[in-house]
Structure 1
């Protein structure tokens, strides 16, 4: 990583160098490329700063995320503790419910016993209703019974009130229990969500760690490659200095070679122009020959079949000269056509003679071309010598390639070592994965325990439902008791009516007694009867007294029973008070649970917001990582291109070394490079061993009651972050050095571009190809010439034959003319003789067919 001062110094040096280049017009291209490279360097500097800032931000975010992960782990532990406390509170609540259930059963039993006693008393009342009592005793007894009944009814009312209160308490406890169960379910869901989030975060963390490890491994590989490249670049610098000296020497040679090349180019251009002119001449000759051959063929056809030849000549004239537009007129006038054909034959003969002359000229031109071919063959021999030199250079390139392959083999060995290191890291990762799987199994075990507890809760709920059913049955029993109470009240009203009737009877009885007293006075007999009745009443009175004593005893027993019931009622009231106290405690605990639930809800909302922020940051980081990957790939491609260019430079270096004959110096440099390479390799190995097994082992002392895994992870993360920062800085430095080397390489390329290198060989190859094509064309033309000569000979023979035939035809025509003239002369002479002489005789000689010779064939018109 370059400092600002060093970068400014570089910029100043580059500007000075540009000003120096501006002075020389020959180095304009070099100056332009140098300025481009400077712009690229500035951009890379800005990118470097931007990437460093991104690295720092990423490291800070990593630290924040690790702290957040630690906080989340602590919260999950706290949630586990709250779950266990809630479970204990639930168990206490269930115990309280069981106690209330037992109390309800006891109250039900007491109510049943009281009902039985009421029934028994009612039965006794019914038994005694049939007997006759003294009015006063009965009234007293009735009052006592009513008081006892009122007391019992009041007790029943109190018991019902207590039952209603107990049922309300039970309902409230059930509601509290349902709310607690709902809160527990919500907490369990929240716990599951947190566990899922923790697992996601752990997975993400693992992915990030693996990516970090991969990036670090790649960074190490790149650093090793960069170090090697630096060594190569340093060696290249040294070689460059030597090469510059050689280049200065070669520039003079190149200038001379350039001048020679320009001369050769001028010669080449001249040769090209001459060859083009010759090819144009050749084409014209070929066209003329073609026209002549066509015309000769037309002449042959005309000689063979005049009418067909006329049509062909008309077509050829339409194509070539557009002169034979009067073909129809020629068909009509055969004699005119014959004369035209004769003229054409004469013209063709003249053209044939001109074609002969042109053929002789063509022969001369072909001789000149053959001479030029010989010259070109000589040039070819020279070019083959040059190619032999190029082959030698290729061999040198192959030797350098073999050396490079040996270096690649050493790189492969180093890559195998790095693969071993990666394998060890993968083993560590597998151990961490096993630990994670064990933790997951523990979590699953805890989840199973939670499910068992949930099943127990469901069982308790079922029991509560059963208890509710029992409560409903008890309520039904209470309603039956109420109906019985109404019946008893009805019976009471009936008894009061009967008492009123008895009072009326008593009144009537008193009146009768008064009447009887009057009658007693009046009747003594009735006294004896009254005395007997009195004795009977006394006996009945005694029996009633016995019954009263017995009833008092029963009343005492009932009082004792009522006292026992009151004691039991007090006990029940105490139980109800305890149940109320427990209910209040449960309410308080329920309120606490609700508060905790609200607090947990708010915490959950905060955690969800934090998780959302974390996800957004992770997305941003992933986008940054993707950009980094793309930039990294670009850099890798640049590295690959640089490697290819370095290989080219090495090849060119070999060529220049051969040309300069600095083999001993190159060998010394090669040995020096190998020594430096070995030194750097040993240094890399030592550094790797130090990274794997650091010397300061006892830097961190293990503390009691600490979490060693998370602590070690945090240390590892910090260490990796530091390494990442240092490696990025080193990478940036290496990139800057590479850019400088690229500049030097571009300069070398420009210097080498001026030298006659592969371009000259390519031009030679092009010239060879052009020569081969020209030779092929010459061969084709020579073959066409020979064909034309053979055709011209054939045409000559045919013309001679046609001339002979024409002569024969002329002779025949002349002979026929002569015969016709002779015939005419004979006829004229015969007519003159007739005019002069007497009529002719019958024995006049007639012309015979035998007089005309038919050995010759009639010429075709």
Structure 2
């Protein structure tokens, strides 16, 4: 719109305006078409991206389904392999069970064949005697071991007494060290008081230094005043400026020294800040070490308590050993008495059996014809009773042996578990002991590192004190140099006061003449520049016309290109539609395949569930088979025990063979008697044989009654013998348990461990004392360092403040020196030029303008078109009158200074006008030029969209 308004203001550019509006319309239409095409392209791209994402998701889902199917197949194969392995194991276990059952039946048959009651009892008694001898030997060994343990216990008690004495001595040493520590604390307090006194002296020194610095500041202000007064000097100022430069160089050197010292102080401050940051961490670490030391002390106390408890347990176990040995002796004596009684009873039984056999042999001849049937029936009944008793006894013996076997297993299992537990506890105690030793060593190393750091910080503090001393010396030197400079500045002030007045009068005259010349030169420059600006505007307008024509051509070419692009995008849209239809068909097929595969997966899952159920049932069966295997193992163990008993019994085969012959003879006799009795039973006369025996042979009846009584006694004695054998077995078990307990008791290694624990206790107590001392020293040093750090920070802040003040003053001095050098150099040049201008003005009135044109430098700046010429003329007229009146009224110094100020005030707007007039040609304001960050086509045109 601004362009159209500018064109409408000029009637010559109306055709160009129409063309411009047409071009603008075409550009708007092309821009709209571009935006539509871009929208369509974006929509197509979004659709393509969505289709690609859907295809990728479908492919990813299909891949995941394939992977799931593969994993399920592998799991099914693994499950079938496990089921096959379980089936094979079941078959093997069944075969093993079958073989074990066959072996059990064979062993039962062999045991039943080889079982003999009397021989088994004799072998059992012999085994008991052998066990008795072994027990006596073991009791002797146990007595020796008890004596050894008592001696070891006495040694341990002596060692404990020595350890307690050492502990008391260590406590005494602790008290002595605590007293020394208190004395050190008192000495520290005295040192701290001395240090506070020194700090007060240092503060006084600081106050004095601050007063000196204030005096220096006041003198610096006076120096600045003197420098301002020095500006009025002319020729002698150059020599004095050299002297001032030398002084400035000295000041720079001193400032550099101050900067180096400030850098050192900054480094020291950083180190101090680091130390302040590290101090709480180290204090926390020391506190943690103290806590850990307390924990270790608690652990040591626990170890001492455990050692005392172990000692008490040892004493209790020794007492138990003594009681067990006494019990073993009493039980051995009771077993000996029981065995003697059993031997006596067996002898009585043997005598009775011999008497009964003799009586039977005597009376069988007499009563052979009458009592064959009665004796046969009695013998048959007796054999039946004996066989039933044997069966019951064997069953009872089997039950007893089973219970004994189970008890023995349990005792062995519990003993193994207790042994493993005790070994684990001992290993854990040793590990804890070694860990505590390692932690103590690490703490020692950390304490050494802390001590080294403290020594290093002390060295740093000494270096910082030396730096402070050097700074004090440098301050004294600077104070002396400043006093000397003050004296010199007073001399300079006295010299330069007289010459300032002359220089000011000369300056005012020169400035008036320069102002007049500058105004005339500005007018001429402005006219020349206006002409050049108009010519350049014409050139820019022609160039803009050419650019517009080129843009029209470029827009036409762009419209053709856009049509081609639209046709291409239409083709691509059709192709994308075809692709969309194909992708939809593929999607439908993939969805159908996914459904089929999901059904297959469900079938596979059902198969897996069935296989899991089968696997669970197989596992249950496998557990049952394992249980049966365990039961068969137990039965096998029992059968092995039976086999061992049978083997023990088979050792006495010869005697059994002789007894078998005797039994065969008795069987033949009994068979003859049975036959005779059967014959008698066949007859009808011997029905009441017992009554006939009462009348005919009462002695035989009495002998039979005695035999029956003797058999009852034998049965009772056998029962008593069983009870006594059970008691003997129980005593053996108790003896074995006592023996196992004695074997588990600690030996001489416990005494060594207690000695090591005592040594470790002493070492740790010494370490604790060292750590507490070092901790107290570190805390004191940390407090001292904190105080010193605060002092150094305060001093550093003061030094920084002073340094920055000196720096600002020095920068102000340098700026004033530069200004003075510029002003003095400009004043000398202006005086010379004024002399030449005065000479030329006497000869020719127009020479001033030429001289002004040659003297003033030209500065190219952009002009402002609305700069008025009347103001320039008025200013030039006023300047000329001021130049005419200036030298006429330069009678007094005051009038010259007032005129100088008026000329400077008038020269400021004149200088602004000169700047506007001396500016370069303006840039074209035509808007069809290429703006920044705008797109350009190939043909040369520009698009409205970025």
- Whether TM-score is above 0.5 comes out as no
Using structure 1 for the length normalisation, give the TM-score.
0.32
Using structure 2 for the length normalisation, give the TM-score.
0.30
